Each structure stands twice: as C-alpha cells, then as structure tokens.
Structure 1
Amino acid sequence: MAQKIVIKVHMSSDKCRRKAMALVAATGGVVSVELAGDDKSKVVVVGDVDSVKLTSALRKKVGPAELVEVGDAKKKEEKKEEKKEEKKAEPAPVYPGYYYYYYPYTVV
C-alpha cells in the first residue's frame, strides 16, 4: 500500500536539495518525490518504503532530518478518480467517408 511520507531536512543549498532528491529517488519502492514548504525544506515521498530507514539515510548523507508525517496516499487519488467519473463523455463528431467533388463547368 502506498504511503505519503513527509520528512523535514535541513538543506541550506541547492546541492543539498539535489543530493536529498537523488537519495530518495534511488530508494526502492518510491513512486514520486517532491520538495514542499516555503523554503523547500520538506521532502514528500509517495510509495511503499520504510520511513524510519529513509529518514536515517537522509540524516547520514544530507544533514539533520525529522519525520513529520506518515499517512495514506490514496486520498488524493480517490478525489481525482471521482472528478474523472463526473465528466460526461461527449460523442465524437461523425464525418462522411469522403467528400463529393463537383467539376466546374467549362465552355469550349
């Protein structure tokens, strides 16, 4: 089952952000990774991974990390599916197989 994990990591530069993103993306079972927060200090991970191991790996490689939130990721997916179902499918326009061409009348 996919989980949504939010980890706050102290990242002072773009190099630290790239390093954290690469580390998380290389972890097995990760579906998506994104940076969140005002100063882009939170890493949001969606997938089937161990949150404690991921947090400790970020502590070792990047810097101080704190596990903020762990929850189900299906909430947003269910909302998207409901919105898709609400839209009614319009029938596709029907075009004739070919158009008739009338030759112009010429006087000889």
Structure 2
Amino acid sequence: MKQKIVMKVNMSSQKSRTKALKIVASANGVSFVGLEGEEKDKLVVIGDVDAVKLTNSLRKKVGHTDIISLAEDKPN
C-alpha cells in the first residue's frame, strides 16, 4: 500500500537537507521525495515504506524528526 508521509526535520543548512534527501531516497519502496514549507523543513515521502524506521534513521543521522501526517496515497 502506497502512503504519503509528511515529516518535519530539523534541517538548518543545505548540507543537512541534501543528507536527509539521500537517506530517504535510498530507502526501499520510496517512489517520490520532496521538500515543502516556507523554510523547506518538511519532507514529503510517497511509497511503500515503514514510516517509523524512516523516522528513526533520520533522527540518528540528521536530527530531530517528527511525523506530521501519514495517509494512504490515492492516485488522481
């Protein structure tokens, strides 16, 4: 089941944004990764992926991470 996960990640610099995007993109089952928000501090992930494992991985390697929303991705 594809799901859309929106996470708020503590990314203060371009280097940390790049690192977070690489971590998420390398996870199994991810089909889309993007940045949202005025400060580009929200990661949007679409795919068949475990949100908890992804969040824990980002917390270990980038910094504080919170899951904002988790919903089933419905094709248009």
Which structure is higher in RCO with an 8 Å CA cutoff and minimum separation 6? 2
Between the aligned partners of 1:72 and 1:36, the Cα distance in structure 2 is: 18
> In percent, how many aligned pairs have the same letter?
53
Secondary structure of the 1:31 match is strand
Structure 2, unaligned runs of 5 or more? none
Between the aligned partners of 1:49 and 1:41, the Cα distance in structure 2 is: 20
Corresponding residue of 1:49? 49
Query: With structure 1 as the length reference, what TM-score do the two structures score?
Result: 0.69
RMSD between aligned alpha carbons?
0.6
Secondary structure of the 2:63 match is coil
Query: With structure 2 as the length reference, what TM-score do the two structures score?
Result: 0.97
Say which one has the larger Rg.
1
How many residues get paired?
Answer: 76
Structure 1, unaligned runs of 5 or more? 79-108
